[in-house]
Amino acid sequence: MSTRSTRARLGRSVPLLSRAGGSRRLTVGAAVAATIATLVTGCGGKSPHHPASASSAAGAPASGKLPLATTFATLKNIPQDAEAAADGTVAHPTQAVPVSATAGGPPVATLPDKELGSPTWVPVVETKPGWQRVLLPSRPNGATGWITDGKDKVQTAHSPYSIKVNTSARRLSLLKSGHSVGTWTVAVGAPKTPTPTGRTFILASLAPAKPTYSPLILPVGAHSESLDTFGGGPGTVAFHGWPQKSVFGQAVTHGCVRVPADALRLLAKVPLGTPVSVAA
């Protein structure tokens, strides 16, 4: 992914299915800061930059406050994803909500209601009375936390989609209700900068006003395991297109997954919070 700062613009409606089965649409906000384009891992091929400290990145909390559970943060004392079966439930905090390491425990972070200009939607991976454990977009990869299931603070919906990536086969599969929508040959991380494995999710949708290599960038809630930062951003991995078809089937990126144009068009319709599983 290119590290060039580009003013991104969000304006698509993200379809979600309500738990009752009816359809609804969530309108994503209009304009996002120019620094958003630096958040992905730099699959465009520029050399990575390593600032002395990543703590000054946009989105970092003020000293003494709970850290924000965003793509910029590294959370401590937080449980890891056990990758137990999930039913497609996704959660959206309508206001910033505390995140706890255990159900009902003291807060260790805060999950904001927006992420990269999009509404925050995260997959629910476990539930207990009054609480739900969700995947978080922060480091370390696989970070989870418990948030309230109070309807006055958190909305829930259902995504019928799931995305699977096999880095060895260099294949991406999109499924809806367990049935294949399509499978494509893609480009994945190079041996020294591999695409991180495990479960993550679609975090945001970014449409650069002046796209250079992709009309749409879909950051996920995972980060490069080999690059702490890239181009001033936190090394967030993303799905995106690529103008040269010759890259597909190759392990050549800095961690992002480059997909063909027809795959990107379908991925653009997938709701935020949809789970992504990456296997080696």
d(CA 22, CA 36): 33
As given in the structure block, the two tokens for residue 89 are: 């439930």
pLDDT grade, residue 197 (50/70/90)?
Answer: very high
Mean per-residue pLDDT over the chain, rounded: 82
Give this prediction's pTM: 0.82
Contact 184, 262 (CB under 8 A): yes
Alpha helices in the chain (DSSP H): 261-267
Q: Where is pLDDT greater, at 246 or 211?
A: 246
**Within-domain flag for 95:** no
Confirm whether 102 is domain-assigned.
no
Decide if 110 contacts 66 (C-beta within 8 A): yes
| pLDDT of amino acid 42 | 53
Kindly state whether residue 99 falls inside one of the protein's structural domains.
no
For residues 179-215, one letter each, b for 16 or more C-beta atoms within 10 angstroms of the residue's C-beta and e for the rest, the string is eebeebebbbbbeebbbbbbbbbbbbbbbbeebebbe
pLDDT band at 45 (very low <50, low <70, confident <90, very high): very low
DSSP string computed for 131-167: EEEEE-SSBTTTBEEEEE--TTTEEEEE--EEEEEET
Task: Kindly give the pairing relationship between strand 188-189 and strand 251-253.
Answer: parallel
Is 103 contained in some domain?
Answer: no
Task: Identify whether 82 is part of a domain.
Answer: no
**Rounded CA separation 146/5 (Å):** 34
* Assigned domain for 266 exists: yes
Coil, strand, or helix at residue 247? helix
Asked whether residue 125 is assigned to any structural domain, the reply reads: no
- Stronger pLDDT, 18 or 223, i.e. the higher one: 223
Mean pLDDT of 108-127: 96
Pick from 43, 29, 28, 27: nearest CA to 238: 43
**Residue 53's pLDDT band (cuts 50, 70, 90):** very low
| Residue from 172, 183, 176 nearest 256 by CA | 172
Domain that holds residue 243: 8-54+160-279
Q: What is the number of domains present in the chain?
A: 1
Q: What is the CATH number of the domain that holds 35?
A: 2.40.440.10
Q: Is the pLDDT of residue 35 over 60?
A: no
CA-to-CA distance for 262 and 52, rounded, in angstroms?
40
Query: Cα separation of 230 and 255, whole Å?
Result: 11
DSSP 267: H
